[in-house]
Amino acid sequence: MASNVEIPRAAEIGVRVRREGRFRAGQRLSTFGLVGPTVIALAIFFLAPLWYIFEFSTGQKWVAPNDAAALISGELTSISGALWSDFFGDGVIIELMPNLGDQGAAHVTVPAALIGLLFVVLILAAVMGRRLVPRYGGRVVGFSFVALLVPFMTLPAGDHILRLVQLSSESTDLRLFFKSVSMATTSSVIAVLIAFPVAYYLAFCVTKSKYTWLLIVITPFLTSYLLRIFAWKVVLGDQGLINSGLASLGVISADAPLTFLIYNQFTVMIVLTYAWVPFICLPIFIALENMDRRLLEAATDLGASRLRAFAKVTLPLAAPGVVAAFLFVFIPSIGEYITPSLVGGTKGYMFGQAIADHFIGGAFDWQGGSVLALFLLTVVLFLTAATSKFLRAGGGTA
């Protein structure tokens, strides 16, 4: 038998190796052809500006190339550790029921680093709880989520915003940051809560033309964002649609409109929620649509109620979509600039506006603005990295 086996000659082997080598080189070239432009664009338009911002924030490496650039470089002669120190302040004040009075029901001041560490631990526990504590992992995850969300969740309360727990600081910028986190968290959670049923209905209940319906859901995106914000001003103004409607129904007096509808944090959250709900239907819908329906049948066959099947099967499998949806709202919202500028009023001023004011204000404090921008970026990057496990299919079940 062995004598029948053809042994390739050395020359043929050489040809094959060269051919394969060329093939692989060609494939590598096509890989870079496909992805390379994006990578290069990212490097030039994202990483390079980021590097400049980092240099601005440190204040150590930047030397203005000319007098004109020095004008906008701010005071870059000193090491900016002091700026970071100013930003974090002396400590974080935790207030319980802050709406009860100046300092709320109770308050305590703790070092900012400790609060930062606590958040890192809570986020990691929320992500890795099941792996770290096998038996009580579910409770650890649940507790961590609640502990992360509760301090930042808000409820509208007349002209004010009601918080059960509020993080505050002597540092104005850090206080603004906590407020922005709070507004972004509330908007994100509410947007997800609104978008989930819509996506669920489209995925499970609509049988015909579901993609047409999906297109209809995202129709608001066909109009300009600015236009939609101005539409809200028309709706929420003191003589706007809601107030005029209520006045004509006799519910309120025309002379005493509901003033809390516009120019406060509540308005910003309404607009942010509205703006993102159609968009985040998409990731949730895709997660639900790709779910293996036989798992639900199996759960039912094994005696699970519809609610239990939803909690134990549907929700964990939809987790990647839900987390993606949350991040899609949270990340742009926390650094929002245009929405609070237009409908936020004095109370709705957010962290993104503070960053912009540093850069474009008459002081040209690019160093201070860079410190704030870098801090925001760090928080967002950490959050995204920590929750990236959920973004993978089935990640929520781990």
Q: Give me the residues that bind other proteins (CB under 8 A), please.
A: 23-24, 27-28, 31-32, 35-36, 39-40, 42-44, 47-48, 51-52, 55, 61-63, 65-72, 159, 172-173, 175-176, 179, 233, 237-240, 257, 259, 262-263, 340-342, 344-350, 353-354, 357-365
Which helix (H) or strand (E) element contains residue 167? Answer: strand 165-169
Count Cα atoms within 13 angstroms, Cβ side, for 233.
14
CB of 318 to other proteins, least distance (A): 27
Nearest approach, Cβ of residue 232 and other proteins (Å):
13
Tokens describing residue 328: 């899609």
CB of 2: closest distance to other proteins in angstroms?
A: 27
Nearer to other proteins, 150 or 254 (CB): 254
CB of 10 to other proteins, least distance (A): 23
Q: Which is nearer to other proteins, 145 or 364 (CB)?
A: 364
What is the closest distance, in whole angstroms, from the C-beta atom of residue 239 to other proteins in the complex? Answer: 4
The answer to whether residues 286 and 391 touch, using CB atoms and an 8 Å cutoff, is no
Which among 142, 231, 223, 153 is positioned nearest to 192, based on CA atoms? Answer: 153
Look at strands 165-169 and 92-96 and give their pairing: antiparallel
- Residues 231 and 187: their CA atoms lie apart, in Å, by 19
- State the first-to-last Cα distance of the chain, in angstroms, to the nearest integer: 53
Using the minimum distance from each CB to other proteins, give the nearer residue, 238 or 289: 238
Cα–Cα dist 396/322, whole Å: 10
Nearer to other proteins, 72 or 215 (CB): 72
**Of 233 and 312, which CB lies nearer to other proteins in the complex structure?**
233
Give which of 354, 325, 329 is closest to 340, Cα–Cα.
354
Closest CB 56 distance from other proteins, rounded Å: 11
Q: Which is nearer to other proteins, 115 or 318 (CB)?
A: 115
Rounded CA separation 87/170 (Å): 10
